[in-house]
């Protein structure tokens, strides 16, 4: 499986973000999914020992959105215009979580993507469906400044 690029400052994937999750994803060509693992530290809890729902949503948003890059068009970034999260059970802190994202439908500059979070025993903790689209041109101007830092980082 090929590793996807990361940024330097993103909260979810940023390699230089001291307060971030440092999540990494890999393209699984066979399943046509993007897969990653993350252990969320207790500093991101809502209730003691449980990952805050906003953090769960951020992980799912990023994971589902990255599925659009399965074709290795790593500059094909899109932004979320709608995100629907279903919390199925508490997502615990301090436990390795498997995150998976896939494309449900794609049409030109828009796509519908989805994602899920599972515990080591395979139990589902949360799912998401999202609508994403190409960002407006003014966003892309700012992206050009950050582009040199969007790359696959060594482990």
Tell me the domain boundaries of the chain.
2-140
Which CATH architecture is the domain 2-140 placed in? Roll (3.10)
Residue 43 to residues 7, 24, 93, 104, 141, Cα–Cα distance (Å): 22, 20, 9, 33, 34
pLDDT in tens, 56-93: 999 999 999 999 998 887 677 899 999 999 999 999 99
Looking at per-residue confidence, does 34 or 1 come out higher? 34
Mean pLDDT of all residues in 17-31: 95
As given in the structure block, the two tokens for residue 42 are 């207790």
Instruction: Report whether 38 contacts 20 (CB < 8 A).
Output: no
pLDDT score for 144: 79
What global pTM score does this model have? 0.94
Confidence of residue 30 (pLDDT cuts 50, 70, 90): very high
Instruction: Report whether 81 contacts 131 (CB < 8 A).
Output: yes
Instruction: Report whether 132 contacts 67 (CB < 8 A).
Output: no
CB atoms within 10 A of CB 47: 10
pLDDT in tens, 96-120: 999 999 999 999 899 999 999 999 9
């Amino acid at each position: 499986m090929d590793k996807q690029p990361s940024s330097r400052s993103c909260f979810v994937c940023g390699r230089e973000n001291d307060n971030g999750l440092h999540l990494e994803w890999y393209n699984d060509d066979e399943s046509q999914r993007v897969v990653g693992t993350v252990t969320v530290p207790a500093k991101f809890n809502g209730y003691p020992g449980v990952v805050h729902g906003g953090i769960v949503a951020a992980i799912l948003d990023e994971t589902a959105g990255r599925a659009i890059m399965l074709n290795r068009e790593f500059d094909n970034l899109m932004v979320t215009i709608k995100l629907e999260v279903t919390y199925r059970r508490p997502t615990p802190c301090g436990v390795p979580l498997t995150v998976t994202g896939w494309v449900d439908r794609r049409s030109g500059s828009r796509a519908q993507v989805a994602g899920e979070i599972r515990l080591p025993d395979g139990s589902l903790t949360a799912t998401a469906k999202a609508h994403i689209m190409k960002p407006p041109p003014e966003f892309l101007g700012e992206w050009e400044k950050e582009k040199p830092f969007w790359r696959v980082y060594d482990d």
